[in-house]
């Protein structure tokens, strides 16, 4: 239901059925009804809602007998509000980090809900490469993720790149985002930085296999997938010391945590690793072993499948293909999404889509 599904090709290659709903062609409530009908066509035993409030709205239309699962992927207030708002339509809440599970479980609305900690699993396409302490050349540092400021604080990455502008360091930036243009312009004078753009998951791992360090200086996270991939490929994580996800993965023997917002410490960590390549190799090997032994994709999938064990599912009559959509709970003001106003918005949307020249 989002405008851009960056995993579409990868999902199709693995046999998933991917349906994308045109956000411009239908009003909000009709997109919810469209999604619910698509789900009903599969008559599943379990339905997962994740990322967007729209997916949680769809859970409200699922009949009894279907296990309704809400997945929380970030340690920030708006994500926890999903539980508070949609608790009556949730059977299980999954948190990708221990911190997320603890906070979600402490919410009054979550009383009686099943809370499960299921961290991400990664499908690795290749073994972690063997690195040598005697390798000549610069310390290779990668950033993998969205190029934005509110969460990822890409300005901190730019500052570290500028400070480490000598030939002892080489930076690779993987990803795209709203700050990409200004970020590239800011670093245009830096000869030791390369932009890979947005690439496939397989290519991400290929790039990480050629790096020594993964740099991530976010303000908040859930459990960064890039961190799992980087550690699994033997990169030393130099990351913000965040309670959610980071502390689950990065200990003193398999990476370096720096205070949130402390660019000086991040720069110092890179310089210490450049000066002591043997330590960098040791930390990277420990990181790869830790992630590969605990965060496999097969194990993650098995844990999600287990959530549906014992679910009875529903007969054909339980699926209300023509069911109306209740007034959405997340979007405001609520009057805009019900009754005559909904009808008017639908008419205006149809008019806009059919008007010549549009």
Pull the structure tokens for residue 257: 């945590």
- Domain 8-121+300-354: give its CATH code: 3.40.50
pLDDT digits (tens, 9 = 90+) for 213-255: 999 999 999 999 999 999 999 999 999 999 999 999 999 999 9
| Secondary-structure class of domain 139-295 per CATH | alpha beta
Instruction: Report percent pLDDT > 70 for the chain.
Output: 94
Query: 300-316, pLDDT tens digit by residue?
Result: 999 999 998 867 667 66
Dist CA 189 CA 103 (whole Å): 44
Radius of gyration of the chain (CA): 23
Residue 357 has pLDDT above 60, yes or no: no
Are the C-beta atoms of residues 209 and 191 closer than 8 Å to each other? no
For residues 205, 210, 216, 222, the Cα torsion angle rounded to the nearest 10 degrees is 20
pLDDT digits over 46-100, tens only?
999 998 899 999 999 998 889 999 999 999 999 999 999 999 999 999 999 999 9
Can you give the pLDDT at residue 205? 95
Identify the band that residue 24 occupies on the pLDDT scale cut at 50, 70 and 90.
confident
Closest CA relative to residue 269, chosen from 164, 152, 116, 190: 164
pLDDT for position 320:
64
Confidence of residue 9 (pLDDT cuts 50, 70, 90): confident
Residues β-bridged to residue 71: 50, 94
Q: How many other C-beta atoms are found inside a 10 Å radius of the C-beta of residue 153? A: 20
State the first-to-last Cα distance of the chain, in angstroms, to the nearest integer.
22
pLDDT value for 317: 66
Residues 356 and 358: their CA atoms lie apart, in Å, by 6
Q: Which pLDDT does position 229 carry in this prediction?
A: 97
Q: Kindly state the helix (H) or strand (E) to which residue 196 belongs, with its residue range.
A: strand 193-197
Please tell me the distance from the alpha carbon of residue 119 to that of residue 268, in angstroms, as a whole number: 30
Residues in contact with 45: Cβ distance below 8 Å, sequence separation at least 6, in sequence order: 65, 66, 67, 308, 311, 312, 313
Instruction: Tell me which H or E stretch contains 279.
Output: helix 277-294
Torsion angles phi and psi, residue 58, rounded to 5:
-65, -35
Average pLDDT score over residue span 191-199: 95
Q: Where are the domains of the chain?
A: 8-121+300-354, 139-295
How confident is the model at residue 312, as a pLDDT?
67
Q: What is the mean pLDDT of the chain?
A: 91
Q: Which two tokens stand for residue 92?
A: 């299980």
Strand arrangement, sheet containing 193-197: 193-197, 169-174, 139-144, 213-216, 236-240, 256-258
Query: Tokens 């590239």 label which residue?
Result: 184
Local confidence band at 324 (pLDDT 50, 70, 90 cut-offs): confident
Query: Quick one: pLDDT at residue 246?
Result: 95
Give the Cα separation of 343 and 340 in Å (integer): 5
Query: Can you give the pLDDT at residue 322?
Result: 57
Q: How many CB atoms lie within 10 A of CB 241?
A: 14
Helix (H) or strand (E) holding 56: helix 53-59
Residue 358 has pLDDT above 50, yes or no: no
Q: Enumerate the β-bridge partners of residue 216.
A: 239
| Residue 31 in this model has a pLDDT that exceeds 80 | yes
The DSSP letter of residue 255 is -
pLDDT at 316: 64
**Which position has the token pair 């009709």?**
30
Regarding predicted confidence, which is higher, 153 or 323?
153
Share of the chain above pLDDT 90, in %: 76
pLDDT, position 223? 95
pLDDT band, residue 2 (cuts 50/70/90) = low
Domains 8-121+300-354 and 139-295 share a fold: yes
pLDDT tens digits, 95-132: 999 999 999 999 999 999 999 999 999 999 888 888 88
Q: Which residues, in sequence order, are bridge partners of residue 172?
A: 142, 194
Contact 217, 266 (CB under 8 A): yes
């Amino acid at each position: 239901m989002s405008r851009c599904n960056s995993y579409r090709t990868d999902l199709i290659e693995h046999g998933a059925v991917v349906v994308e709903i045109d956000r411009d062609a239908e009003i909000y409530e009709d997109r919810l009804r469209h999604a619910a009908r698509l789900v009903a066509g599969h008559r599943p035993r379990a339905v997962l809602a994740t990322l967007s409030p729209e997916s949680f709205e769809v859970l409200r239309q699922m009949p009894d007998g279907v296990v309704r699962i809400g997945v929380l992927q970030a340690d920030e207030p708006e994500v926890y509000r999903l539980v508070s708002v949609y608790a009556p339509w949730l059977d299980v809440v999954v948190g990708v980090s221990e911190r997320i599970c603890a906070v979600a479980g402490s919410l009054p609305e979550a009383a009686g809900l099943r809370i499960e900690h299921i961290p991400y699993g990664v499908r690795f396409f290749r073994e972690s490469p063997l690195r040598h302490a005697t390798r000549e050349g610069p310390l290779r540092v990668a950033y993998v993720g969205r190029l934005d400021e509110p969460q990822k604080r890409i300005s901190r990455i730019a500052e570290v790149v500028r400070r480490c502008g000598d030939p002892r360091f080489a930076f690779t930036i993987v990803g795209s985002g709203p700050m990409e243009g200004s970020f590239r312009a800011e670093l245009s004078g830096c000869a030791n930085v390369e932009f890979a753009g947005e690439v496939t998951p397989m290519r991400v791992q290929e790039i990480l296999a050629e790096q020594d360090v993964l740099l991530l200086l976010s303000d908040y996270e859930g459990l960064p997938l890039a961190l799992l991939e980087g550690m699994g490929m033997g990169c030393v994580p130099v990351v913000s010391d965040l309670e959610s996800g980071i502390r689950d993965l990065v200990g003193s023997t398999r990476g370096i945590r720096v205070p949130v917002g402390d660019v000086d410490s991040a720069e110092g960590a890179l310089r210490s690793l450049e000066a002591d390549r043997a330590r960098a190799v040791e930390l990277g090997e420990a990181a790869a072993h830790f992630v590969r032994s605990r965060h496999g994709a097969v194990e993650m999938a098995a844990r999600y499948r287990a959530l549906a064990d014992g679910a009875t599912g529903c007969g054909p009559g339980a699926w209300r293909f023509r069911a109306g959509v209740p007034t959405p709970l997340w979007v405001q003001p609520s009057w805009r999404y019900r009754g005559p106003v909904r009808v008017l918005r639908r008419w205006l949307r149809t008019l806009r889509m059919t008007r010549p020249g549009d």
